[in-house]
Structures are given as C-alpha cells and as structure tokens.
Amino acid sequence: MEINQIIKKINFENQGLFLIEINNSEKLEHIEKEIKSCFFEKQYEIDTCFLELKPETVSKFISIDQIRKLKKEFLHTNVLNLNKIIFIKEITELNNNSINGLLKLIEEVPQKTFFIFCTSNLLRIPKTVLSRSRILRLNDFNSDVRLNIFAQDLINQNQNISEEIIQNLIYSFISLEKIDFFENVKLFTKNQIDICSIIFLKVLNFNLRKYSDNRKLYKYLFDLHSNYLYDVNESLQYNTLTNDLIAIYFTRLHSNIIKYGK
C-alpha cells in the first residue's frame, strides 16, 4: 500500500491506534507530510492538533512524563471537533514505563483521535501494543522477491551445501507446496545446522511482515518466533540441538501459513 493510501485509510476511520511498518527512514518525513495534508486544512489546526512524541534531548527514550503531559494537554474534550494526531516515528523509543502509561490511553481512544506510530521492526513491539493496533505495511516490501534474493545469496555463500536443499526450504514458502521438511533438514550436518536455523528465522520474519494484517495468523507466527528462540537457546545450552527440532518448526510454520494465510 502506498503512503497516501495508508493515510487516507486511517482518515476514513473515526479513531484508533495504527502501526505502520516502514523499512525506509527517508519515507518517514513523507508520512508526516501526508498526515498533515490529509487530516488538516488550516495551519492553526496542524499546530494545535498534531503532536509528535520523540525522546527529549538528554534521553534515548520517550518518558512516562511525556505520556502524562500528553494525557493532560492533548486528550481533553475536543470542543472544536477537530482531528487530533499523536505521531511517533519509531515506537521502540518508548521505554517500559511509557508503554504502560500509553496502554491506558489507547484502551479507549476518543473520537477523531488517531495514534499513528511507525516502526522498522514489528518483532520488537510488545504484544500488549500489537493487540490494540491496526497494522499497516508499505508496499515497498516484497517478500517473495527478497526470499529469492536471500536464497541465491545463501547458495553462493555455501557451496558445500546442496543448492536443491536450500531451494526446497525457501521456495516451498513462496509456492506453498507440500514438502517433507524432515527429509530436507536432516541433510544438514551438525556443523551446518546453524545455517538451517538462519533460514527458518529469515523465512518466519518475512512471513510475519507479509501477513501482518492477518491478526490470527500474525499472532500465531509471533508466538512461534518466541517459542523457537526459547527452544533453540535451551537446546544449545545443553548441547541437544537436533535437526528434528528445526524440522518440526519448519513444518508448523508451513502448515499454518497454508491453513490461515489465504
């Protein structure tokens, strides 16, 4: 979706929390410009009804005091019935306290009030925020094309691993064809199993972005990511990491994308 389409889609709603995934920092200024162009007509409306939250000079994070100030000064009764925008260019700049303070504000967003937050990494966003958000993505992210590029780079860098094995593990998620992951993953040696793990995480990450607007599937993929990291770290700690463990996760990922990704 193009930036202007995203902003118009948000403006079509009455209120809410919207999370825009963007991997190009140059487009952040464009997003802010489109917000002001779409939501406001007069200069005084922009000045009084648009607030960008960002870390104060001496801090790396948006503080709880800034959230409290927002609650006092910005979310009072809207007597002029104007649109109000709270904008954050990178939501990971919120610390834990400010996130907790923000949750109280976004539980019931007032009419004509819009929280528009951007991020370059949805995996770093707390579930408590994700569950309250409408997730929107720019269309400059084409997972199929990038997975193909990733596969070719991996093949070029690992000449000692069969090209067919790598292709099977990656292209099966593009074509969504059935495949026996146990047969393919077991062909990786113990010294190569980290490469297999990298493939899984890369494929999972691409699908998280691809299906970010499918809430049911996205929640499953998000949980799968957390579970995988936990199981792999535990296995590495006790030197019990096996090909079968990774193959199980490949199978779960693939089968649920086929089931819920339509």
- Clarify whether residues 163 and 74 are in a common domain: no
Cβ neighbors of 160 (< 8 A, separation 6 or more) are none
The answer to whether 67 and 101 are in contact (CB under 8 A) is: yes
Q: What pLDDT is recorded for position 5? A: 81
Q: What mean pLDDT comes out for the span 202-225?
A: 89
| Distance of alpha carbon 247 from alpha carbon 236, whole angstroms | 16
Q: What mean pLDDT comes out for the span 24-53?
A: 86
Q: What pLDDT is recorded for position 58? A: 82
Number of domains in the chain: 2
Q: What mean pLDDT comes out for the span 216-227?
A: 93
The answer to whether 41 and 77 are in contact (CB under 8 A) is: no
Assess whether pLDDT exceeds 90 at residue 188.
yes
Place of tokens 């009419």: 111
Q: What pLDDT is recorded for position 118? A: 93
- Clarify whether residues 47 and 118 are in a common domain: yes
Overall size of the chain counted in residues: 262
- Clarify whether residues 232 and 123 are in a common domain: no
The CB density around residue 236, as the number of other CB atoms within 10 Å, is: 12
- Clarify whether residues 152 and 222 are in a common domain: yes
Rg (the chain; Cα; Å) = 22
Q: What phi, psi does 79 have (nearest 5°)?
A: -70, -25
pLDDT tier at 1, thresholds 50, 70, 90 = low
Assess whether pLDDT exceeds 90 at residue 231.
yes
Residue 58 DSSP SS3:
coil
The answer to whether 75 and 110 are in contact (CB under 8 A) is: yes
Q: Which of 28, 22, 94 is nearest to 55 (CA)?
A: 94
Assess whether pLDDT exceeds 90 at residue 12.
no
Average pLDDT over all residues of the chain? 87
Domain at 85, CATH number? 3.40.50.300
Assess whether pLDDT exceeds 90 at residue 123.
no
**What's the domain range around 183?**
143-260
Q: What pLDDT is recorded for position 47? A: 84
Higher pLDDT, 12 or 182: 182
Amino acid at 39: F
- Clarify whether residues 112 and 72 are in a common domain: yes
- Clarify whether residues 133 and 152 are in a common domain: no
Q: Choose the weakest-confidence range: 119-128, 133-142, 245-254.
A: 133-142
pLDDT in tens, 39-89: 988 877 888 899 999 998 888 899 999 999 888 877 766 677 889 999 999
The CB density around residue 262, as the number of other CB atoms within 10 Å, is: 8
Cβ neighbors of 232 (< 8 A, separation 6 or more) are 197, 241, 245, 246
DSSP state, 213? Answer: T
| Distance of alpha carbon 199 from alpha carbon 206, whole angstroms | 11
**Integer distance in angstroms from the first to the last C-alpha of the chain?**
18
- Clarify whether residues 130 and 12 are in a common domain: yes
- Clarify whether residues 196 and 82 are in a common domain: no
